[in-house]
Amino acid sequence: MSKKVAITGMGIISSIGNSVEENFNALIQKQIGISRLENFASKHVDEIKVGEIKLTNEQLIEQLQLPENNTFTRTALLGAFAAKQAVVNAGITDINAFKTGLISSTSVGGMDFTEKHFYEYLTDDSLSKYINSHDAGDSSNKIADYIGLTGFVSTISTACSSAANAVMLGARLINSGKLDRVIVGGTDALSKFTINGFKTLMILSDTYNQPFDDNRKGLNLGEAAAFLVLESEEMVQQSNKKVLAFVSGFGNANDAFHQTASSENGEGAFLAMQKAFKTSGLEPKDIDYINVHGTATPNNDLSEGRAIARLFENQVPDFSSTKPYTGHTLAAAAAIEAVFSVLAIQNNIIYPNLNFETPMQEFDLIPNIEVKSKEINHVLSNSFGFGGNCSTLIFSKN
Amino acid sequence: MKAVYINGIGSVSIQDQDIFDFNFELISDLSDVNYAKHPSYKEMIPAAMIRRMAQGVKMGIYASQNALNEAEIEIPDAIITGTGMGCLQDSEKFLRAIIDNEEEFLTPTSFIQSTHNTVGSQIALRLGCKGYNFTYVNGANSFENALNDAKLQIENDEANSILVGGIDEISDYTLKLLKKIDVIKNENSSIDFKNPTSIGVPFGEGANFLAISSEKKSNSYAEICDVFVQNKIEISDLKQTVSTFLEANKIDLSQIDVLVVGRNADSNFNEYYTEMETLFEDKTQIYYKHLSAEFDTASAFGVLLAATILKKQEIPNELLWNNKSMSQANYVLCYNQYRGKDHSLVLLRNC
């Protein structure tokens, strides 16, 4: 990469906390956010566990101080919550003072409201105001309005890798001087749509998810939003701002194997990581920690593990999946894991891969299972999604 | 910084395939809802696959393959798509099944195909393209977001040849909902582009793709100079926004030869187009949504037309908005917004 892209602020809401600090404390105290579904009714409530944020939409609306006639869906509410935090954390007071953008990402968009009112929309006029809140771009426009931003607003949807691609685009736009700073991340609410979708694919676990375990049974769905403020080096120098970490590398590739399954050898994942190393100028031996995608589905962990083993050869660094804490938060996953990666660098800490018991038979990759302190300079974070979308980000201390 | 050229186009729209040959003989008047005229897919896609394939995927594969063929690109370095609503038919189908069957007896096919990036990934799968693959879902400038990214890729030497396109499909139930809230015109409403008197738009669908490259060819359509997207603009700021955009490209308003506007016969939000008309009143202006109808990525159809105008150096009367004819087109500017939001500017140059 020609220039360094600084991270100067972060905001997050997930099932393990409503702030960066709460999330970090939960991570190092092994407090998981996986529970039974409470916010809406589902036939599958007793068969699944989810990473649900225990705030109702009404409570979120109150915290955000939105007017009563607002048309925010849960996805937009969570996004606004996290984006605002990130902006405040970065010390931004006049959001439009520089060339500032917002790049959000979501997979469900306003589906949580659409599925609730689908047939009623035709008959109940009082609900009509929500009809236009369905599309993904609507949530981003609402988040932009909430933080007062007029400018470049974009939304990416590449399923479970979406937010990684938002970070990537943000870094590229800063690198090429198109923007001075950009708020990047993702937001996804739990919905019946995704619960039933993953259920039909038979990749939902009926218990706590166990990434990289030989007996893993699938994933727990979760909901979350996280945003990071990226700024150019010039902006940081001007303001003398504290830099939390840098985005130092990124790569996106397509597995081109199957619409929902990853190839057995993880070709797309391998290519994404390879590209990330190329843009960063780093080598595999420089990586101190990998925050793996690690969804705990049989297919993902095997494919990702093989790609990691191939790329890092015999020197696979410490790695763990944080999905046992938060569940798989789909489009938001890479954003919350970007926050976790930055926190790992700031605190020189590696998180445990909870629920791990039995090594996988196919290779000898053992995740880190305890809270571990060590100097962390570079973290690699993977995210993969339906459609063969594979994304890798590298975060660095300096 | 490398220049970016349009070397191939492909489209499935509510018109016949020869619309980009400027054959307007079979153009029919728009209705409130206008469905795509599907070409024969069987020459391109095996029959067994056609049946299973989502409509947006079929349209996307057809349009994108034609763009690649024309540009003589076998496998592009990157595939970047935009879609406002995504694979709506499958989303609706899966959602209906969830509600109607109370979360039981579901099959995964429609869920799998409901993901927003289905078209982009199906194109990649079919081509065996392992490169960069992004899908933008930012309402009415989803396509311009994709184009902006594609241009950046080529300028920064991240890719040399890119497939970029916009896809949106009509789905029956969403159609009813959009009619209920007057986003789409009532079936009895007049459709008057020149002097809109009813609210809502004549709705449509389609897939529009460009094959772009750093390489200029003898049959290149145009150079893409710049792309701009913004979430909202006050009408009073529109002039300044356009001027700033053009200044950044070292030209001014007077150098624009043709303005391509996204007029959509909606009496609401029409003031943006009126303001643009005033800014460029002595210039040739064209409109196109009387041919494409309106949907989130309809503006891609406009960019394809703009590119075709530059290549042919010809503007058919069917496209002319005002009576200003044109002798030589060097710069063409496309402007679009939808419901006052998701504004975009695309600047093309003769090459």
State pLDDT tens for residues B289-310. 999 999 999 999 999 999 999 9
Residue among B156, B157, B137 nearest B146 (CA): B137
Amino acid at A297: T
Instruction: Tell me if A136 and B231 make a contact (CB, 8 A cut-off).
Output: no
Question: Which residue among B98, B127, B138 places its CB closest to the CB of A155?
Answer: B138
pLDDT for the residue B335: 98
Average pLDDT on B22-43 reads: 94
Q: How far is CA A59 from CA A81, A109, B73, in A?
A: 12, 20, 53
pLDDT for the residue B109: 94
**pLDDT at A3 exceeding the cut of 90:** no
Percent of chain B with pLDDT over 70: 100
| Same fold across A5-239 and A249-396 | yes
Q: Could you read off the pLDDT of B61-84 as tens digits, one per residue?
A: 999 999 999 999 999 999 999 999
**Packing angle of the helix pair A162-175, B142-155 (nearest 10 deg):** 50
Q: Could you read off the pLDDT of B220-270 as tens digits, one per residue?
A: 999 999 999 999 999 999 999 999 999 999 999 999 999 999 999 999 999
Q: In chain A, whose CA is at the least distance from the CA of B93? A: A193
Q: How far apart are CA B307 and CA B286, in angstroms?
A: 13
Q: How far apart are CA A11 and CA B67, in angstroms?
A: 42
Percent of chain A with pLDDT over 70: 99
B91 vs A contacts (CB less than 8 Å): 111, 193
Q: What are phi and psi of A333, to 5 degrees?
A: -55, -50
pLDDT for the residue A269: 97
Q: How far apart are CA A174 and CA A151, in angstroms?
A: 14
Residue A116, Cα to own-chain centre: how many angstroms?
A: 25
Provide the mean pLDDT of chain A.
Answer: 97
Least confident span in A133-137, A387-391, B49-53: B49-53
Question: Which of B133, B171, B174 is the mutation pick for testing A, counting most A CBs within 10 A?
Answer: B133
Confidence class for position A2, pLDDT limits 50, 70, 90? low
Q: Could you read off the pLDDT of A313-348 as tens digits, one per residue?
A: 989 999 999 999 999 999 999 999 999 999 999 999
**pLDDT at A182 exceeding the cut of 80:** yes
Q: Give residue limits of the domains in chain A.
A: 5-239, 249-396
pLDDT for the residue B26: 85
Altogether, the residues listed in chain B come to a count of 351
Complete domains list, chain B, with CATH? 5-213 (3.40.47.10), 224-349 (3.40.47.10)
pLDDT for the residue B310: 98
| CATH classification for the domain delimited by A5-239, as one of 3.30.460.80, 3.40.47.10, 3.40.1160.10, 3.30.300.30 | 3.40.47.10
Residue A217, min C-alpha distance to chain B (Å)? 18
Confidence class for position A223, pLDDT limits 50, 70, 90? very high
Mind spelling out the 3-state secondary structure of B78-113?
A: EEEEECCCCCHHHHHHHHHHHHHCCCCCCCCHHHHH
Q: Give ipTM to 2 decimals.
A: 0.97
Active site residues of A: 160, 293, 328
pLDDT for the residue A259: 86
Residue among A167, A181, A170, A169 nearest A238 (CA): A181
Residue A305, min C-alpha distance to chain B (Å)? 19
Question: Which residue among B117, B129, B137 places its CB closest to the CB of A389?
Answer: B117
Percent of chain B with pLDDT over 90: 95
pLDDT for the residue A212: 98
Question: Which residue among A128, A151, A254 places its CB closest to the CB of B124?
Answer: A254
pLDDT for the residue A4: 82
Q: Could you read off the pLDDT of B129-172 as tens digits, one per residue?
A: 999 999 999 999 999 999 999 999 999 999 999 999 999 999 99
A387 vs B contacts (CB less than 8 Å): 115, 117-118, 120-122, 124, 133, 135
pLDDT for the residue B327: 83
Q: How far apart are CA A253 and CA B78, in angstroms?
A: 9
Average pLDDT on A37-45 reads: 97
Pairing relation of β-strands B258-261 and B331-338?
parallel
**pLDDT at B123 exceeding the cut of 60:** yes
| CATH 3.40.47.10 given to domain A249-396 | yes
Q: pTM, whole model, 2 decimals?
A: 0.98
Amino acid at B46: P
pLDDT for the residue A1: 55
**pLDDT at A265 exceeding the cut of 80:** yes
Asked if residues B264 and B335 have their Cβ atoms less than 8 Å apart, the reply is: no
Instruction: Tell me if B127 and A256 make a contact (CB, 8 A cut-off).
Output: yes
Provide the mean pLDDT of chain B.
Answer: 96
Q: How far is CA B224 from CA A36, B73, B334, in A?
A: 52, 18, 11
**pLDDT at B59 exceeding the cut of 80:** yes
Radius of gyration of chain A (CA): 20
